[in-house]
Amino acid sequence: MLLRHLLTLFLIATTLPSLAAELKTTPAGIEVVAGSLGNFVLTYPEFVNASSQPVHKQTQASASGGTATVQYEGGAQCTMTVAKDEITLTFSQIPADVASWKVTTLIDIGFAKGGTWKVGETAGTFPAEKPKTPQIASLGSTTFQVKNAQGQSLDITTPDFAFQQLTDNREWNWAVYHWMCLVPYLPDSPTATFKITTELAASAKLVDAFGQSIKDAFPNKLLNESDLKADVAADEAYYTGLKPPATDKFGGLPGSGEKLSLKATGFFHVEAKGGKTWLVDPEGQAFFHLGICGFAPNDDYTYIKGRESIYEWLPSPQSEFTSAFRPGDDHAHFSFYLANTIKKFGAPYDLDTHAARMIPRVRQWGFNSIGAFSPKPPTACEKASFPYVAHLPINEWEGLPRIPGAHEVWDPYEPATEAKIAENLARELPAHAQDPLLIGYFIVNEPRYDELPRVIPSLTGKHACKRELVAFLKKKHATIDAYNQAWQSQAASFESLLDAGLAVSTDQAKADVRAFMAEFLETYFAQIERLYRRHDRNHLLLGSRLQPITIQDETLCRIMGRHVDVVSYNYYTYGVDKAELSRIHEWSGGRPMMLSEFFWSSPKDSGLIGGREVSSQRERGLAYRNYVEQSAVLGFVVGIEWFTLVDQATTGRWFSKYNGESYNTGLISVADRPWKDMLEEMMKTNYAIYDLLLGQKKPFQWDDSRFAVPTKAP
């Protein structure tokens, strides 16, 4: 019987067909959906001249079914079609100065954990650590392969005469690999083909029963369940031994209100005193927001469907581990962190119990509030008088459509959008308007306002913002002839502009778009401020958690500063550029600033990969000290938020499926173990933050070359 069973399994294994990737057209490029190998987006072609300089930029891309059409400045066009395992490109009206075209794709940093690459006959492993030089491979070849640690692979056959380049973008503080394929444009051969094949059947065990990487050894690694249970007593001794300084019940500095003449309003607010801006708690004491993002489980969930075989252990959803599965997702997402806490404490997960356990821990480390991406626990905050921030209920998944191609930006000219925002705010805000623990609301997370000057001209007239742009141009230029001269266009009428992609190539066109963007942003921020204040006049409007690429816009900052109470900046950096922060502060009209997201990771001793890397857990803490203390002494930074409480899942965070980040972002590991070397350094800053703000302590400056000069994000 056993022999027959084994023979049956062998026959099944050897006769299963190799799963094929799915090719899909999208506005960003051709997406290759390759199961648990991940998703890859092959960008639409970019043109370069004989000097390798970009020419004839893309003006519009539309995708429908298996066909995508891309239009460029100067009238060039590329039509891309997908069928089974092939992508066919057909070029037309290509200008004479085009020498070559290129496509690119990003390769997840997770391939560093045992993944390999091959270009032609040259092969290698993806580097686990940032190499000395970013170039991994650079040669002419028509074949490219990536393979992950499971043994699954993606093969690309390129057009003839292709040149390929593979780089490690951690050189530019971007944890991803980048593949580029450059192909000469041959006017006599306007058609080219890529062939995509995959081998997805292979599998190997990669993750242990506690959600840790099997292949990696590190000091904090959990080896067995008995050690996990023993951690309960060890934790009690550790946390009891920590001695944070005394604060008021909210985490503010006792006696500072009287010393600085601050007001007690019953709510968090900001005041300018003595040339500095202070965040003030409800009792009227100085409060520096030392917040932690992801206080509730989130990034520790991972997508398990389709790759169950890589885990040494997965429980049944109908077991004592039911609460470790993310609700409402058909058991597709699982948290090994929560499973470990269930094993450790012998009870299922619930948000309030989790928060009640975590609040005393983080207070011992000197943190004083819950940061972004954290739903308010039902009672834990009230019982502990622990402050928190919130997000306005206007995320994309809450029924509010976004402008395509501009991440997390809605169209303020669309009446249905305003109505939906008003509905959501009226439903959620009144219940919390009198809550003294609520610091304030973020608007959205990392909206890409900087993409709007490119995106809006490329839209069709079904979008209200495009109709407003055309109306603006008509008012500005009065006649279509004047417009055509300014924009170097041949439009028949202003009405014909509605459904056309507009090439913003002349100086006047660029000036017109900048002027329209000022009107757009004023409408956008005035709208949200007006709708917000209908329901809440007590709490701070904390801005939009902008990225470095977005906030470097004086017009945006000046307009935004008129409508928010605090500018929130997801400032990812090594060295703190005080001049840059001061410039943004000035642009915003002197609004206080919150540095609302940052972290460093240590792949060497965490079993995780990627992120803004340093070499050890202690270096993570030193980086924190340098960042927080250097920025806090500026006098207008009123708080920070570390990202996150718990490390991201080893196989990537849940909402990105197989391409999720798996970074050492946490204060604690997947095994609920604190990163003590890092926290020892963090506590030096957190415990002394008010001495620093009052000028009684000099700021720490890390004597490390990486942190001496700011490193800009790509």
Chain segment 16-55, per-residue pLDDT in tens: 334 578 999 998 899 999 988 999 999 999 999 999 999 9
The reply to whether the predicted model has a pTM over 0.95 is: no
Measured distance CA(296)–CA(375) in Å, rounded: 7
Nearest Cα neighbor of 205 from 193, 215, 196, 197 is 215
Measured distance CA(350)–CA(372) in Å, rounded: 19
Counting Cα atoms < 13 Å in the Cβ hemisphere of 435 gives 25
Measured distance CA(243)–CA(683) in Å, rounded: 10
pLDDT for position 397: 67
pLDDT for position 21: 83
Residue 711 has pLDDT above 80, yes or no: no
Length, in residues, of the chain: 714
Q: What angle do CA 597, 399, 552 make, to 5 degrees?
A: 35
| Residue bearing tokens 């993806």 | 126
The partner residues of 157 in beta bridges, in order of sequence, read: 143, 195
Measured distance CA(697)–CA(656) in Å, rounded: 43
Residue 467 has pLDDT above 90, yes or no: yes
H or E element that contains 146: strand 143-147
Measured distance CA(341)–CA(349) in Å, rounded: 8
Domain boundaries along the sequence of the chain = 12-199, 225-296+351-392+429-442+571-653+669-707, 450-512
pLDDT for position 253: 98
Domain 225-296+351-392+429-442+571-653+669-707 fold is TIM Barrel (3.20.20)
Sign of dihedral through CA atoms 388, 389, 393, 397?
negative
Looking at residues 513-538, what average pLDDT do you find?
98
Chain segment 73-110, per-residue pLDDT in tens: 888 999 999 998 999 999 999 999 999 999 999 999 98
Q: Is 198 or 10 the better-scoring residue by pLDDT?
A: 198
| HEC assignment per residue over 379-416 | CHHHHHCCCEEEECCCCHHHCCCCCCCCCCCCCCCCHH
Q: Which two tokens stand for residue 30?
A: 């051709």
| 276 Rama class: left (phi>0) / alpha (psi -120 to 50) / beta | beta
pLDDT for position 13: 34
The partner residues of 64 in beta bridges, in order of sequence, read: 67
Nearest Cα neighbor of 290 from 628, 633, 710 is 628
Sign of dihedral through CA atoms 377, 381, 384, 389?
positive
Measured distance CA(343)–CA(264) in Å, rounded: 45
User: Any idea what DSSP says for residue 529?
Assistant: H
Residue 483 has pLDDT above 60, yes or no: yes
Q: What's the one-letter identity of residue 518?
A: A
Residue 12 has pLDDT above 50, yes or no: no
Share of the chain above pLDDT 70, in %: 96
Contact 228, 343 (CB under 8 A): yes
pLDDT for position 710: 59
Q: How confident is the model at residue 174 (pLDDT cuts 50, 70, 90)?
A: confident
Computed over every residue of the chain, the mean pLDDT equals 93
Give the CA-trace dihedral at 312, 318, 321, 323, to 10 degrees: 130
Sign of dihedral through CA atoms 486, 488, 493, 497?
negative
Residue 377 has pLDDT above 70, yes or no: yes
Residue 61 has pLDDT above 90, yes or no: no
Q: How confident is the model at residue 9 (pLDDT cuts 50, 70, 90)?
A: very low
Residues near 270 by beta carbon (within 8 Å), at least 6 away in sequence:
277, 278, 279, 280, 540, 565, 566, 592, 638
Chain segment 274-301, per-residue pLDDT in tens: 899 999 999 999 999 999 999 999 999 9
Looking at residues 616-635, what average pLDDT do you find?
98
pLDDT for position 416: 93
Measured distance CA(188)–CA(185) in Å, rounded: 9
Measured distance CA(444)–CA(71) in Å, rounded: 32
Q: How confident is the model at residue 618 (pLDDT cuts 50, 70, 90)?
A: very high
Q: Which two tokens stand for residue 643?
A: 């990202």
Residue 8 has pLDDT above 50, yes or no: no
Contact 291, 644 (CB under 8 A): no
Q: Among 195-204, 237-246, 349-358, 676-685, whose mean pLDDT is lowest?
A: 195-204
Contact 372, 445 (CB under 8 A): yes
| 74 Rama class: left (phi>0) / alpha (psi -120 to 50) / beta | left
Residue 4 has pLDDT above 70, yes or no: no
277-305 burial: b if 16+ Cβ within 10 Å, else e? bbbbbbbbbbbbbbbbbbbbbbbbbbbbe
Measured distance CA(335)–CA(349) in Å, rounded: 11
pLDDT for position 343: 98
